[in-house]
Structure 1
């Protein structure tokens, strides 16, 4: 048990902590799930994670009672959450030594993001520093990391269906890269930037103080918005429609980077907006009719002492209800195509409960998953 879990149990003895996010959600009353609670994961020493929920007051108390070296906490962002605008911008100084101003990329991005979000109210003043204006709304956190690869400046993995985003002033387990406020891009809101204030502002799913803002969402492949004030809606309607049209035109091509002879080159592919999928039918692993298959999968993914895995979640098939998808995390990454384990990519174990057969589906993009090999349970 990690120190942070011990602190949680001491502070909140009745707090539910689960090894699987689906178990946590299934055991909570519906009013808690719909309320303004924050769902969090804890990274353990063995790279596994445990999950709990917290109010903002409980989270601040946990911060006050814990050492930052022990805080390996991540905010869970569900597909249905109303969230603040957030971007994972990656810019590696070591890859841009020929640029004198190493912050020029982040500078440009902050200007573009601020103008996109405030185009209707935007008034350019040549006597003002536009970055200072942007930093009245945008909180910039940073952590040191290294990479020798060419990557997209915007990490699109931050928008997966159930993303886990590292919390402010927390560290990846076993590392020393705390996620702190940027020293170069200081938050410039008029109120006192206390530690608790910065923590609240950094939590993507905490919106109790922003109920007056419009909500932008995607429906039927179109950007839309809603606001509690109908007068504001009428004023913003035409402006936002024009803005969204411009954004969509820019996103009609997806720029992918390739490395040829050590030099980056770009190619463009057709871009399709992510459709809002039907909610997944997450399954409680304690259900009697599922326990048989849970035990089978658990035995399979712990059979190799050097590659121990655990069940992250279980989902029933959308079209074939006889199919159970067990998403596997940890170090079990066996790929039938390779005949060995991947170093990073995860796998899913698919079970056909009608035919009593199973297959392992590798999530590596380079592995062909068109033809699956099925085995008897």
Structure 2
């Protein structure tokens, strides 16, 4: 029996109050989070800029397939999500992927950097995509007090330029190399991006083969006469002082300050003005950078954006003048890499070796296109330009040209595929056809030779199943928020409310709290 003067349902009321206080504390924490972290304004493109496009993925494959097939000029990037409870640590322990345009991503990066909250974006270098030559350089200052990072970088650039001249007859200098720095008091850290004139490596595996070969030569140089090492023969032997390219680690082990592990499929490479999660050293242009931006006909309005665009490793235009560089792997002294003969691929009848492209079904289709009657065409080589979504196939065994309605006597043809428009057409190497920039009629690609995009991702299905098993419809009070992608263009805050959750009166109090924190505006519904 209730005592006189005691409120009814006092026990139930205390329990509701306890739950409310817990929920209110979580909302206050989220409000504090938004107050401390800048909301990126809505991306409003100019007439020449790409339209807004922003899709996020848990799996890299889904992001890559979407970027390949979508008609918009979009690309794949990775980022490290943060949480409201701990902004300097990953919210899920793994990276997420976003498909967007270069312009829209730069909009996010520059806005966050402007408000002293650098983003954590990385460029995803797609498997098989033509790319620029790049280096990741680092060493611990504690174990190398006499080393001068700037002189080491300048020496390396000199050596690489010499090697490019010897291997490919390409001339370059420090003015063609972007130098970025993210060094701290304890660690030297630098990125080099080689913007070669009308030349690019077939993919980052070939770029890596070139770097491995160069590093092997430098290692041999350490203990032999420079004249005995072909790739460094014309370069005077480096003195064992601050200009040496070899460093010590905490175990007194000697190694090059070049990271040779950054040339793998779908590699993530940190972007200009971005940080690694939990760090506070954004990747910036080094004060000794000598790279010169190409002067367009119009005046450069946004120099920072131009630097960003030039720094993108797969931002390579597909033109008839582009020289594609290849550097096959070989058995190295360390026996780390495999010989070409041990990697997958096929050798065609003229002795050319063709590894499968990232789109094997498309390869098979192109082989049927160039095989007609008794004419057995084949793929000599392929090049993938991720920047414009174009595959270029050099063809052998079939020289039939639609322009002259017969086969060329000595010049081969090529098939170009525009994956975004889902069409293909023929061009050729014949000087007369090139002079008029001939291309055949465009033909549609069969749907079954294109990558298939999955409707749902495994992680999303597993999370949904876990929520069902737990009897939950969603946790509106979870403070996990991706501040990398938070944008002030959001019109409403959608809240998933369970059946037993707060009443209308309680929700009004929540809404007022949000108003006080300026998370929502009074006119929004």
Structure 1 length as normaliser, TM-score? 0.52
Kindly name which structure, 1 or 2, has the bigger radius of gyration based on alpha carbons.
2
Is 1:65 aligned to residue 111 of structure 2? yes
User: Whole-Å Cα distance in 2 between the matches of residues 61 and 215 of structure 1?
Assistant: 31
Q: 1:252 to 1:112 in 2, by over 3 A?
A: farther
User: Whole-Å Cα distance in 1 between the matches of residues 314 and 68 of structure 2?
Assistant: 19
The alpha-carbon deviation at position 65 of structure 1 amounts to 3.2
User: Where does residue 7 of structure 1 map in the other structure?
Assistant: 40
Q: Give the 3-state SS of the residue equivalent to 2:133 in structure 1.
A: coil
1:216 to 308, 325, 332: 325
User: Whole-Å Cα distance in 1 between the matches of residues 129 and 274 of structure 2?
Assistant: 22
User: Where does residue 332 of structure 2 map in the other structure?
Assistant: 253
Q: Give the 3-state SS of the residue equivalent to 2:54 in structure 1.
A: coil
Structure 2 length as normaliser, TM-score? 0.39
Return 150-159 or 22-31, whichever deviates more. 22-31
Higher RCO, 1 or 2 (CA under 8 Å, sep at least 6)? 2
User: Where does residue 94 of structure 1 map in the other structure?
Assistant: 142
The alpha-carbon deviation at position 121 of structure 1 amounts to 5.4
The alpha-carbon deviation at position 77 of structure 1 amounts to 0.8
Superimposed CA distance per residue, residues 112-156 of structure 1 (whole angstroms, 9 cap, x where no aligned partner): 111222346578xxxxxxxxx722111111112546545542222
User: Whole-Å Cα distance in 2 between the matches of residues 43 and 73 of structure 1?
Assistant: 7
Is 1:82 aligned to residue 121 of structure 2? no
Does the 8 Å contact 2:178/2:291 carry over to 1?
yes
Does the 8 Å contact 2:109/2:118 carry over to 1?
no
Q: 1:114 to 1:279 in 2, by over 3 A?
A: same
Counting only pairs closer than 5 Å after superposition, residues 214-363 of structure 1 correspond to structure 2 as 214-217=323-326, 222=328, 252-254=331-333, 268-269=334-335, 271-273=337-339, 275=343, 279=358, 295=462
Q: Which has the higher strand share?
A: 1
Q: 1:9 to 1:112 in 2, by over 3 A?
A: same
The alpha-carbon deviation at position 108 of structure 1 amounts to 2.1
Q: 1:293 to 1:134 in 2, by over 3 A?
A: closer
Is 1:105 aligned to residue 152 of structure 2? yes
The alpha-carbon deviation at position 66 of structure 1 amounts to 3.0
Does the 8 Å contact 2:80/2:94 carry over to 1?
yes
Q: Give the 3-state SS of the residue equivalent to 2:56 in structure 1.
A: coil
Is 1:207 aligned to residue 316 of structure 2? yes
The alpha-carbon deviation at position 197 of structure 1 amounts to 1.6
1:54 to 89, 95, 100: 100
User: Whole-Å Cα distance in 1 between the matches of residues 316 and 164 of structure 2?
Assistant: 17
1:41 to 74, 78, 89: 78
Counting only pairs closer than 5 Å after superposition, residues 123-202 of structure 1 correspond to structure 2 as 134-145=173-184, 146=186, 148-149=249-250, 150=253, 152-189=256-293, 191=295, 194-202=303-311
| RMSD of equivalent CA atoms | 4.2
User: Whole-Å Cα distance in 2 between the matches of residues 209 and 141 of structure 1?
Assistant: 26
Q: 1:270 to 1:19 in 2, by over 3 A?
A: closer
Does the 8 Å contact 2:293/2:306 carry over to 1?
no
The alpha-carbon deviation at position 195 of structure 1 amounts to 1.0
The alpha-carbon deviation at position 64 of structure 1 amounts to 4.1
Number of matched pairs: 243
Does the 8 Å contact 1:91/1:105 carry over to 2?
no
User: Whole-Å Cα distance in 1 between the matches of residues 112 and 460 of structure 2?
Assistant: 39
User: Whole-Å Cα distance in 2 between the matches of residues 252 and 8 of structure 1?
Assistant: 52
User: Whole-Å Cα distance in 2 between the matches of residues 36 and 273 of structure 1?
Assistant: 37
Does the 8 Å contact 1:285/1:294 carry over to 2?
no
Does the 8 Å contact 1:139/1:202 carry over to 2?
yes
User: Whole-Å Cα distance in 2 between the matches of residues 48 and 270 of structure 1?
Assistant: 28
Does the 8 Å contact 2:77/2:98 carry over to 1?
yes
User: Whole-Å Cα distance in 1 between the matches of residues 459 and 110 of structure 2?
Assistant: 43
Superimposed CA distance per residue, residues 256-281 of structure 1 (whole angstroms, 9 cap, x where no aligned partner): xxxxxxxxxxxx44643574677499
Q: 1:49 to 1:5 in 2, by over 3 A?
A: farther
5+ residue gaps, structure 1, are: 124-132, 223-247, 255-267, 300-377
User: Whole-Å Cα distance in 1 between the matches of residues 94 and 111 of structure 2?
Assistant: 23
Q: 1:162 to 1:73 in 2, by over 3 A?
A: same
5+ residue gaps, structure 2, are: 1-29, 45-50, 83-90, 188-248, 344-354, 361-450, 467-525
